[in-house]
Structure 1
Amino acid sequence: MKKIYTMLLCMMLLTGCSNYRELNELGLIIAMGIDHSQENNNGYRVTYQVVNPSQFSSTGAANGIPVINYSVEAKSIYEAYRLATTIIPRENNISHLSLIVIGEEVARDGLNLLFDAFERGENARTYMPVFIARGSSAEDILGVIEPIESNPTKSIISTSENNQKMYGVAKVMPVYEVISALSSEGTNLLLTGIKLNKELKSRNQTENLQDIEPSIIEINGLAIFNKDKLMNWYDREMARTAHLILSEVDSTSFPISCDGNKHITFTAKGIKSTIKTVIKPSPALQVNVTINGEIGETNCNIDISKTKVLKKLESDLEKEVINQIKQTIQFAQEAESDVFGFGNKLSKENPEYWKKHKKEWDKIFANAGVDVHVNTSIYNSGMLTDPYETK
């Protein structure tokens, strides 16, 4: 009898998982694309990228597509999620949502309270990164399968992270940071753009997988916002320099002209920058940057072992960086968009001035002077002191 009581007690202590679901019962949504509705003047066309579970089963096709896209139209993001149950044959699950892509047309018309659904309610999720589909729809971007990385969601995130580490155009910005920028005074939003490097030859993804030069998703510039609307784009050097001003570049490269059309290329590391708004005698935007770097490549016949030569190279690098920073800030001034947060910094350092002038800050920012100071230090010339000589 004691054994029976012991067994009953053990059974009572063992609890089951009430929310447990088998993989073949769930539609795991890993990405969302948000475009304008094609059927109505208002509303959205939302694309859900769902994991194809057959790729993880022993009987699944070896060369099958790892994800499946489902698109639905609705008046709101939340309603679209509910309506998706009419086309997704599994229980919708967003616990693995890892990416949000927004079509350029939606961004130009205004993000407004687009992200409200992501931070409201018991299923709130705000850590997934946000990207802008440049020149195309989010649906088209999420519809491309690449040979090396066949999961579009992973491809976009991995490429962005690699670029952020090695050059600095991209930044993986989560929803909560986007919301913070949209709701903050004195700071406008910058978001990484992605696009197809070329049009798909066919909607048949198998052909793209077998193409030696396939259509791929590439990092393409930074979207400049004014309030909640996309106004313009930073490209390549300017996009990188925008992040440099914000002290968000881990490492990057600067080719500097030497010997006519030849170049010496610096690898910059340990980049630190600060910004400040000076009010008197007239508003001016100040940027101070410190760059430590090394020589990565030279096409010039110069003796790098000489201190005098290194000092000149440091001076040339400083001039180049100053020029790029000024051009980048002036481009934002033309859009009257303070994407660097000069106004936000001013609101903390001089709250009285900010309270009085914050409504006209866009104009003040656009007409402010730009003062840039750069200090560079070349600490390493590589394994060689001189380049090899050609005969």
Structure 2
Amino acid sequence: MKSKKHYFFIINIVCTSLLLSGCWSYRELTDIAFVIAIGIDEGEKQPYKLSFQLINPKNVAGEPQKSGIIGPATVIYQSEGDNLFTANRATTQQVSRRLYYAHTSLVVISEKLARKGIRDVLDILTRSPEFRPTADIVIAKDSSAEDLLNVLTPLDQINADKIQKTLKYSEQLYGKTTKTNINDIVSELISNGNLPIISGFKIEGDRKKAKSSENILNQKPLSTIHADSIALFKNEKLVTWAEGAAARGINWILGNTSQPAVNIDWADKKGAISIQILRSNSQIKTEVKNNKPIITINLKAEGNVAEVNTYLDLSREEEFIKLQSELEKVIKNEINEAIKLGKKYKTDVFSFGDHIRISHPKYWKKVQDHWNDDILPTAEIKINVDASLRLTGLKTKSDVYQ
């Protein structure tokens, strides 16, 4: 009996092992190079120049301290080609490992290239099965993508990490940039009622020393990467930049703001009161009258009083109501600045057209081909802002200003 059980056990193991497959597509870690970020510029001899930011494993792992060698956590290789695919293949002449894109989390496009169009760039990024379509995308403003990726950053070993973290927190806490990935941009480009927006990053300070070790050895960096503004596109081409109030106005409309600070003038003092927005919600409603669209933006915002640099007595109801009213005016003015910019450059980055398409499909079919050029610039847009204050901090009066 025992021999039979033993026999069947062996047969079971043999049969099971036949069903197990080997790792036929394995790759040794020593044979691949992890691409963290890609920079795309116009080439000097070929149409495209690619900059690949690769992880330098020895320096990231801390081994340089053992060997006495100190170097950057990343290394950048470049190649040119007639298209992005051939430029990618050309790197095999320089890199001793195969480029691996599964961990690529950032794509940087130069402003010069973005003004000519980004459709071809997006094609290969979305076609490759290795590449992550959730990778963030930014524009190098007033510089090349290569220069932006070459800046050495003191707090973050990896330059791409610095850009992505800045992008995230700048959108949440400042509200004048926006975090977008490749999937977002592609879906907006193929939609008739949407146009893409992409954040711009600028190099500030001494650009010549930005990529030298001197930049990270100084207590005050000689050069920094700055989240600057939002690039507005018409079709696939960058047409202008939204900065300051206009940039945040776009985010108010799109509902991208999280907890920005809003400064309010008070008693002839500029920016005397700072309000921290806790939450905001934007709704867009559309109607068509006399064959013309009417767009209404309804925005609700709640916030707390964060700082007061003038006399203010919020225990008085009239003061409290007035402050809420002033907050509404500031938000409404920022939205107005954004709409003015969009109308001037005839670019519907607010997705108004998409709302028209959903609510009034018959009307949209008539105007979709000339929506940006003819309809949007003259469209009636109404703005309603309802702002409320929740907390005033530990006191309702500014005692030091009495």
Select the residue among 111, 116, 128 that pairs with 2:123: 116
Select the residue among 269, 277, 282 that pairs with 2:278: 269
* Counterpart check, 1:378 vs 2:384: no
Structure 1 segment 305-344 matched on structure 2, within 5 A = 305-344=315-354
Aligned equivalents of 1:14, 1:373: Cα separation in 2: 64
**Contact 1:326–1:370 (CA<8 Å) still a contact in 2?**
no
RMSD between superposed Cα atoms in Å = 2.3
* Counterpart check, 1:140 vs 2:147: yes
1:52–1:135 Cα change, 3 Å: same
Per the alignment, residue 237 of structure 1 pairs with 245
User: Greater shift after overlay, 166-175 or 96-105?
Assistant: 166-175
| Residue 22 of structure 1: how far off its partner (Å) | 3.4
Aligned equivalents of 1:124, 1:147: Cα separation in 2: 28
| Residue 268 of structure 1: how far off its partner (Å) | 1.2
Per the alignment, residue 359 of structure 2 pairs with 349
Structure 2: gaps (5+ residues): none
Structure 1 segment 1-391 matched on structure 2, within 5 A = 9=14, 16-40=22-46, 43-57=47-61, 59-61=63-65, 63-202=70-209, 205-214=212-221, 215-262=223-270, 263-281=272-290, 282-362=292-372, 363-389=374-400
Aligned equivalents of 1:56, 1:358: Cα separation in 2: 51
**Contact 1:35–1:45 (CA<8 Å) still a contact in 2?**
yes
Which deviations, in whole Å up to 9, do the C-alpha atoms of 1:344-388 show, x marking residues without a partner?
110111111110111121111011122110001111111111113
1:356–1:128 Cα change, 3 Å: same
Structure with more helix by fraction: 2
**Contact 1:247–1:273 (CA<8 Å) still a contact in 2?**
yes
Aligned equivalents of 2:187, 2:214: Cα separation in 1: 42
| Residue 12 of structure 1: how far off its partner (Å) | 6.5
Aligned equivalents of 1:210, 1:239: Cα separation in 2: 34
Alignment length (residue pairs): 389
| Residue 55 of structure 1: how far off its partner (Å) | 1.8
Give the structure-1-normalised TM-score: 0.93
Give the structure-2-normalised TM-score: 0.91
The amino acid across from 2:335 in the alignment is: I
Identity of aligned residues (%): 29
The amino acid across from 1:51 in the alignment is: I
Aligned equivalents of 1:379, 1:129: Cα separation in 2: 35
| Residue 94 of structure 1: how far off its partner (Å) | 0.8
Aligned equivalents of 2:128, 2:108: Cα separation in 1: 22
1:370–1:93 Cα change, 3 Å: same
| Residue 196 of structure 1: how far off its partner (Å) | 0.6
Aligned equivalents of 2:356, 2:129: Cα separation in 1: 37
1:390–1:172 Cα change, 3 Å: closer
